[in-house]
């Protein structure tokens, strides 16, 4: 009897240990797109995910073309349909540039499985054009919606869609909205006094944005497409006694919850570091509370993954090196510093890493743009940040994906599988009836969305246009 009690106690202990393992979770860092492949080198700007579909933007540099020659630098997009494990290159169709012009993508949003958008600039010395690129077919083609000489610094811009049709982009102190997927952008009559960031579409005619004005950060809101602007909400600029707090980015969740990532410029203690600060509001910005960390964290430009998932990640922190990652498991309301295990293919393992862009994937892990620098050497690549199992660095093994073509598809989907029976199901796991003829599936009657096809051993995702 005592032995039975002992075994039950062990089982209870193990169950509790598994339930609380997130308290000391470990993540591993694994490169999924190298910074150099053959004659090409890559520099990545930004990444975002919606479910298991992710889009990244970056430059492809052709080293076979001499430096200073047109055609050396090419803006490319990279799409993943398996949580960032593998990437397919996509050409948006913009001409490659040379020494006196370059692309700079500031933000990417994966709106849903088929729609993604990016904002940035194509700089020509001594002037430049601002660009908004959008795809509605999973990246098969990209529409250059805005290509105009908007003045000002490209770093003061943002873009956000609440659905595939309704969105906002900001550029310096100018606001533009669309209700037709970006076919037409309308500039708002409302003109903030200073530059604006973090434009956010709440759906319909409701939008929000942030500006700094008279030593405060202001959140502007509208419910009628900026014809009338609601009372501004103020966030104190000086929130500490040892320096100035500068807001880097806002993340929104619903109508009331806002998370602010900031840096505190310490003007008292030499060498005057910039430390991470996080603040949250649960009443649309009227009141704010600081989220404390057990340790001081240096930050350059902190960035937050979307709060739509309960698991969120924080990037832009330089002092963590490759040893830690900052994670939330309650939509950003609380955060903890978890262990980050370097993968074997990092260059080399002990160089510090910097994460300028990070997104949560459907499996609760992250995809990130990572920069790895040491002296004059800098590497840039895409990586997965994966949760290890009970503190052990075990590889994630996915079922081998079947080849599908075309993808996206509108009528007939060809599946490279030897199975005589293929099954199609939606993102909720519901089986969809699709007539099969050999390796071909008739998907013409499916509504436009993302689906999965399985032969009982392998699985792959596709987009129905």
CATH at 250: 2.130.10.10
pTM of the model: 0.75
CATH at 423: 2.60.40
Same domain? 428 vs 326: no
Number of domains in the chain: 2
Same domain? 407 vs 365: no
Same domain? 181 vs 87: yes
Last-in-domain residue among 359, 387, 415:
387
With respect to residue 353, please indicate whether it lies within any of the assigned structural domains: yes
With respect to residue 393, please indicate whether it lies within any of the assigned structural domains: no
Which pLDDT belongs to residue 116?
Answer: 97
With respect to residue 8, please indicate whether it lies within any of the assigned structural domains: no
Which two tokens mark 151?
């003045």
Same domain? 427 vs 306: no
Query: Distance (Å, rounded) from C-alpha 381 to C-alpha 346?
Result: 10
HEC readout, the chain: CHHHHHHHHHHHHHHHHHHCHHHHCEEEEEEEECCEECCEEEEEEEEEEECCEEEEEEEEEECCCCCCCCCCEEEEEEEECCCCCCCEEECCCCCCECCCEEEEEEEEEECCCCCEEEEEEEEECCEEEEEEEEECCCCCCCEEEEEECCCCCCCCEEEEECCCCCEEEEECCEEEEECCCCCCCEECCCCCCCCEEEEEEEECCEEEEEEEECCEEEEEEECCCCCCCCCCEEEECCCCCCEEEEEEEEEEECCCEEEEEEEEEECCCCCCCEEEEEEEECCCCCCCEEECCCCCCEEEEEEECCCCCCCEEEEEECCCCCCEEEEECCCCCCCEEEEEEECCCCCCCCCCEEEEEEEECCCCCEEEEEEEEECCEEEEEEEEEEECECCECCCCCCCCCCEEECCCECCEEEEECCCCCCEEEECCCCEECCCEECCEEECCCCCCEEEEEECCCCEEEEEEC
Q: Are 422 and 413 in contact (CB under 8 A)?
A: no
For residue 31, give Cα distances in angstroms to 259, 302, 358: 29, 21, 14
With respect to residue 396, please indicate whether it lies within any of the assigned structural domains: no
Which pLDDT belongs to residue 232?
Answer: 58
Residue span of the structural domain in which 436 resides: 403-464
pLDDT averages per 10-residue partition of the chain, 465 residues: 42 38 66 81 93 94 81 91 93 83 87 94 65 93 76 70 94 89 90 82 91 71 89 53 68 86 68 75 80 74 87 77 79 85 57 84 92 70 80 38 82 83 71 87 89 71 83
Q: Are 90 and 96 in contact (CB under 8 A)?
A: no
Same domain? 452 vs 382: no
With respect to residue 20, please indicate whether it lies within any of the assigned structural domains: no
Same domain? 420 vs 289: no
Same domain? 55 vs 181: yes
With respect to residue 173, please indicate whether it lies within any of the assigned structural domains: yes
How open is the CA angle 330-333-334, to the nearest 5 degrees? 85
Same domain? 429 vs 373: no
Which pLDDT belongs to residue 171?
Answer: 85
Same domain? 162 vs 199: yes
Burial class (CB in 10 A: 0-12, 13-18, 19+), 176: buried
Same domain? 76 vs 158: yes
């Amino acid at each position: 009897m005592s032995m039975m009690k002992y075994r039950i106690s062990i089982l209870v202990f193990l169950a509790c240990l598994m339930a609380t393992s997130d308290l000391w979770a470990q993540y591993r860092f694994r490169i999924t797109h190298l910074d150099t492949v053959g004659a090409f080198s890559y520099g990545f700007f930004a990444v975002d995910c919606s479910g298991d579909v992710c889009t990244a933007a970056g430059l492809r540099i052709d080293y076979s073309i001499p430096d200073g020659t047109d055609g050396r630098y090419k803006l490319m997009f990279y799409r993943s349909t398996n949580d960032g494990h593998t990437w397919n290159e996509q050409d948006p169709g913009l001409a490659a540039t040379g020494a006196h012009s370059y692309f700079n993508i500031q933000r990417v949003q994966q709106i849903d499985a088929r729609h993604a958008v990016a904002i940035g600039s194509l700089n020509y010395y001594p002037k430049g054009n601002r660009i908004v690129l959008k795809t509605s077919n999973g990246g098969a083609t990209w529409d250059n919606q805005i290509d105009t000489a908007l003045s000002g610094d490209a770093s003061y811009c943002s873009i956000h869609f609440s659905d595939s049709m309704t969105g906002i982009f900001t550029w310096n102190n100018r606001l533009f909205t669309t209700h037709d997927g970006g076919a037409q952008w309308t500039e708002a009559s409302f003109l903030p006094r200073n530059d604006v960031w973090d434009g956010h579409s709440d759906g319909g005619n409701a939008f929000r944005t942030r500006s700094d004005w008279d030593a405060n950060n202001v959140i502007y809101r509208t419910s009628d497409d900026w014809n009338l602007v609601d009372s501004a909400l103020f966030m104190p600029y000086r929130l500490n006694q040892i320096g100035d707090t500068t807001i880097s980015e806002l993340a929104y969740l619903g109508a009331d919850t806002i998370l602010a990532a900031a840096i505190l410029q310490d003007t008292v203690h030499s060498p005057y570091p910039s430390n991470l600060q996080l603040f949250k509001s649960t009443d649309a910005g009227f009141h704010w509370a600081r989220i404390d960390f057990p340790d001081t964290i240096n930050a350059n430009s902190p960035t937050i993954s979307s709060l739509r998932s309960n698991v969120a990640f924080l990037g832009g922190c330089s002092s963590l090196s490759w040893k830690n990652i900052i994670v939330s498991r309650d939509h950003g309301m609380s955060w903890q510093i978890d262990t980050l295990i370097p993968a074997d293919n990092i260059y080399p393992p002990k160089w510090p890493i910097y994460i300028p862009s990070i997104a949560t994937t459907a499996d609760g892990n992250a995809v990130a743009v990572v920069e790895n620098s040491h002296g004059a050497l800098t590497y840039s690549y895409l990586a997965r940040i994966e949760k290890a199992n009970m503190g052990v660095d075990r590889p994630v093994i996915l079922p081998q994906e079947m080849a599908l073509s075309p993808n996206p598809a509108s009528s007939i989907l060809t599946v490279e599988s030897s199975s005589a029976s293929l099954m199609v199901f939606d993102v909720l796991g519901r089986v969809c009836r699709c007539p099969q003829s050999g390796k071909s599936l008739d998907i013409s009657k499916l509504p436009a969305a993302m689906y999965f096809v399985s032969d009982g051993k392998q699985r792959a995702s596709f987009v129905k246009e």
